[in-house]
């Protein structure tokens, strides 16, 4: 072989050794888990926010129902029922819903509300007072099937008694 051919072969060997064909693949392999983790976190946050919006809407509907129950011997049960129906997609239970009035002479029971058991004293609500419904719902944040965080979502709404 002549020296020109040898130099050309050496140059091609050196250039071939410096090729970067696999660099992009290695960078993607390193970045992909972080990107997937970020995507999963965004989706989980969206699911949690959706659950909170449903809960907020449900207590608003329950407070409206409670405020319209003036004069009923038990306005609490229809309010709790309305709240549960509005939050059926998140599996809210009656034990997580608390209807209340501001006056101590007229209330929906003490502590966690038990459906069909009311301490209401024959509709002594005052027009203009606030009827309030509060509810809580648990949410578990999971990433790739691993339990990361448990939070309790809480919402409360009030409406003037009519």
Q: What is the pLDDT of residues 48-90, one digit of tens each?
A: 999 999 999 999 999 999 888 877 777 888 888 899 999 999 9
Contact by Cβ (8 Å): 52, 153: yes
Answer yes or no: is 154 within a domain: yes
Answer yes or no: is 11 within a domain: no
Beta bridge partners of 139: 151
Answer yes or no: is 18 within a domain: no
Confidence at residue 5, expressed as pLDDT on a 0 to 100 scale: 75
* Structure-model confidence comparison of residues 157 and 127, the more confident one: 157
Instruction: Give the H/E segment covering residue 74.
Output: none
Confidence at residue 107, expressed as pLDDT on a 0 to 100 scale: 59
For the chain, the farthest-separated pair of C-alpha atoms sits apart, in whole angstroms, at: 112
Answer yes or no: is 8 within a domain: no
Answer yes or no: is 32 within a domain: yes
Q: What is the pTM of this model?
A: 0.74
Q: What's the pLDDT tens digit per position in 110-151?
A: 545 555 444 444 556 677 888 899 999 999 988 878 888 899
Q: Which residue has the tokens 């130099």?
A: 7
Answer yes or no: is 53 within a domain: yes
d(C-alpha 161, C-alpha 103), whole Å: 12
d(C-alpha 55, C-alpha 3), whole Å: 82
**Count of domains forming the chain:** 1
Answer yes or no: is 17 within a domain: no
Confidence at residue 52, expressed as pLDDT on a 0 to 100 scale: 96
Q: Which residue has the tokens 């609500």?
A: 125
Which domain, by its residues, includes 107?
23-160
| 109-114 long-range contacts, CB within 8 A, separation 24+ | 109/76, 113/76, 113/80
d(C-alpha 108, C-alpha 99), whole Å: 6
Confidence at residue 61, expressed as pLDDT on a 0 to 100 scale: 95
Structure token digits, residue 101: 């009035």
d(C-alpha 130, C-alpha 102), whole Å: 7
Answer yes or no: is 3 within a domain: no
């Amino acid at each position: 072989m002549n020296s020109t051919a040898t130099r050309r072969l050496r140059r091609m060997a050196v250039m071939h050794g410096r090729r970067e064909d696999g660099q992009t693949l290695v960078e993607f392999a390193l970045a992909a888990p972080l990107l997937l983790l970020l995507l999963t976190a965004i989706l989980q946050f969206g699911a949690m926010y959706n659950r909170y919006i449903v809960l907020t809407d449900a207590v608003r509907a329950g407070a409206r129902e409670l405020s319209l129950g003036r004069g009923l011997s038990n306005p609490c049960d229809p309010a709790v029922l309305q709240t549960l129906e509005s939050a059926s997609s998140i599996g809210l239970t009656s034990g997580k819903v608390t209807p209340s009035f501001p006056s101590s002479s007229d209330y929906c029971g003490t502590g966690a509300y038990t459906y069909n058991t009311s301490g209401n004293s024959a509709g002594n609500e005052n027009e203009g007072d606030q009827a309030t419904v509060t509810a809580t719902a648990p949410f578990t944040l999971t990433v790739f099937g691993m339990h990361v965080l448990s939070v309790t979502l809480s919402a409360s709404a009030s409406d003037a008694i009519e």
